[in-house]
A and B are shown apart, each in its own frame.
Chain A
Amino acid sequence: DTEVTQTPKHLVMGMTNKKSLKCEQHMGHRAMYWYKQKAKKPPELMFVYSYEKLSINESVPSRFSPECPNSSLLNLHLHALQPEDSALYLCASSLGPLGTGSGGGYTFGSGTRLTVV
């Protein structure tokens, strides 16, 4: 299995809702990431988990809460989002935290298109 699977592919939520994005990989990668991408912009790093521990939080608002239940799963819990949080949310994994080494870079999922209304 050489894929990162993200669910759901599309999500529409109200500003008072609570929802979760899920990400799964079975490549034995020990680092997993959440990125946010607005239209026509590059992906922006949100969180990095390395060996199931949160190692980077790029000053993301607390309405985004990551969780790494085990080395294959990564969740992003959403609560009280704003319309400006609408974006493509990408999950990625890599062999090590810099995406380097024999694993060669990050593997990205196809993303969750989130719309906050």
Chain B
Amino acid sequence: LAKTTQPISMDSYEGQEVNITCSHNNIATNDYITWYQQFPSQGPRFIIQGYKTKVTNEVASLFIPADRKSSTLSLPRVSLSDTAVYYCLVGTYSGAGSYQLTFGKGTKLSVIP
């Protein structure tokens, strides 16, 4: 069953690019990788999802190497409003109709003026 590991915290200055890496060594063939952002007392918000190589949308990029054992969320030119907890999620089919949908511990990103 896939389990994710992320850095507990990261600091960055405004305007810099931030890369947060998630390890998922036991990712299964059909698993997707999804990243979420969460502000205090709010529900997580979908950022980006990918299966392999690179995915880009209007807010972020997701890089997934060929072995898919890790993924890197890239946030370009962060601002103070990007201060939040970022979660990497790998959905894993556990068999017999059971799915493991487990959040990792998340990375608290603090953006400094």
- Residues of A that sit less than 8 Å from B by CB: 4, 33, 42-45, 48, 55-56, 88, 90, 92, 97-100, 104-111, 113
- Residues of B contacting A: mostly: strand
Residues of chain B at interface, number, CB under 8 A = 24
Interface bits B20-51 vs A (CB < 8 Å: 1, else 0): 00000000000110101000011111100100
Give, as a whole number of angstroms, the nearest-CB distance from B102 to chain A. 7
Interface bits B85-109 vs A (CB < 8 Å: 1, else 0): 0010101010001110111111000
Contacts of B103 in A (CB 8 A): 42-44
Contacts of A108 in B (CB 8 A): 36, 43-45
Q: In the complex, A91 Cα to B47 Cα: how many Å?
A: 17
Give, as a whole number of angstroms, the nearest-CB distance from B24 to chain A. 14
